[in-house]
Amino acid sequence: MKQAILELKNRIFEIYKSTQEPLNNNIYRGHLRSISTDIEDSIAVFVSNLLPETYCLILDPSIYVDGKNNRPDLLIVNDKQEVIAMIKIKANMGWCRNAQWVLKDMVENNNKFISAKTLLCEISNGENKEVSYGSNVPMFLISLTDGNCSESKHQANKNTADELGIKHYLLFSGWYGGLKDKDIEFFANDILSLRKVK
């Protein structure tokens, strides 16, 4: 697990470094370029390395339920084509400050998916995947780092998540170039435990 965590941190650092490259000598960017998609990819690779190869991870699919498009960040699907976890990834949760709308959206999606039972995950550049969704799918919310928000605001988000039955992890402490482990091992252990789900 330690090696997988180190690889994740290195990958995040490389993504962060790429945002520092100048676009032109006379262009000055005041804030970090969006790295959310790259962070989602990195988390998916990390999770994939912890699970059997027979499991699949579905990133940012379009799932239509009752005519509305729903786009969960990451679904983990076991070898029986059953969703065994839904993960929301927030690379910049600090700027969200209050995660209530994110958490509410997760609960709403979960309820819709439970009602639908079978989900068709539309994949833009590949084959669509049909999966089943049961009534006890664990939900995880990831905040990447505490470097962009106060500990008290992150704790308030965690408290709200707990009340809604969602596990919320603050993976790292510090900034993208020097991340220190925080909840990453708890998250990894919870992912590893998914292998035992029958």
Give the pLDDT mean for 128-139. Answer: 96
Residue-level pLDDT at 173:
87
For residue 178, the enclosing domain spans: 2-196
Structure tokens at 5: 């965590």
For the stretch 106-130, pLDDT in tens is: 999 999 999 999 999 999 888 999 9
Q: How many separate domains does the chain show? A: 1
pLDDT band, residue 132 (cuts 50/70/90): very high
Confidence label for 96 from pLDDT (cuts 50, 70 and 90): low
Residues 6+ apart with CB under 8 A from 107: 139, 164, 166
Residues 6+ apart with CB under 8 A from 77: 55, 56, 57, 58, 83, 84, 129, 131
Collapsing DSSP to helix, strand or coil, 109 comes out as helix
Residue 16 has pLDDT above 90, yes or no: no
Strand order in the sheet with 180-181: 56-59, 74-77, 83-90, 139-145, 166-173, 180-181
Give the Cα separation of 36 and 182 in Å (integer).
20
